[in-house]
Amino acid sequence: MPHISVNPNSVGIRSLFEFRPETAGPLLQLADALLQSNGSLSRGERELIASYVSHLNECNFCELSHSCFAALQLEGGWNIVDATLDDPESAPISNKLRALLAIAKCARESGKKVTKSEIERAKDAGASEIEIHDTVLIAAAFSMFNRYVDGLGATCPPDKDAYMDRARQVVESGYSPPIK
């Protein structure tokens, strides 16, 4: 049950964006910059990092929605997403992504938890400094998004099927334009 008066026909972060569109625009732009980038990390990998952080933070809405976004963009789809959320160390993902997820796990708890050994592991696995930067920023931003959604008690549909229409929109068009 939401802690504030949001549109009962909207769910999750979308209901909060509608409640406060002035903050929605910059937050959606941040999500686009972090997750829709065409850099060396694929969009699916970026979404998987967001989903993993949300999973660790126990934010069901963000975990389910970003898992859908990742599954639609990763070769192997749900098998990769589910295996990674279950245990990234044994998931069928690259060593580089595995090392970046270890950094994300540390960063979501505290920036000071990210140590030289995690950074060296990622570099040894082929991660660039930009990929390490983006991973830390995704983990930090999603910790904020998770706290935003859960802190205001946003409604969270329990089934991943409820997220698939929005997931297709995000894959096709990104997170923007802002909520009106």
| pTM of this structure | 0.94
Residues whose CB falls within 8 Å of the CB of residue 15, separated by 6 or more in sequence, listed in order: 2, 6, 7, 154, 155
Residue 6 lies inside a defined structural domain of this protein = no
Residue 178 lies inside a defined structural domain of this protein = no
pLDDT band at 88 (very low <50, low <70, confident <90, very high): very high
Mean pLDDT value across residues 125-142: 97
In terms of residue numbers, what domain contains 44?
A: 35-173
The pLDDT tens digits for 20-68 are 999 999 999 999 999 987 778 999 999 999 999 999 999 999 999 999 9
* pLDDT score recorded for residue 36: 86
The pLDDT tens digits for 91-115 are 999 999 999 999 999 999 999 999 9
Residue 47 lies inside a defined structural domain of this protein = yes
CA distance 90 to 67: 18
Q: Which among 77, 22, 82, 25 has a CA at the least distance from the CA of 52? A: 82
Mean pLDDT value across residues 144-160: 95
Residue 7 lies inside a defined structural domain of this protein = no
Residue 125 lies inside a defined structural domain of this protein = yes
pLDDT at 87 over 70: yes
Query: What's the mean pLDDT when you consider all of the chain?
Result: 94
Residue 12 lies inside a defined structural domain of this protein = no
Residue 133 lies inside a defined structural domain of this protein = yes
User: What is the count of structural domains for the chain?
Assistant: 1
Q: Is 135 helix (H, G, I), strand (E, B) or coil?
A: helix
Identity of the amino acid at 99 = A
pLDDT at 151 over 80: yes
User: Can you give the CATH number for the domain in which 62 is found?
Assistant: 1.20.1290.10
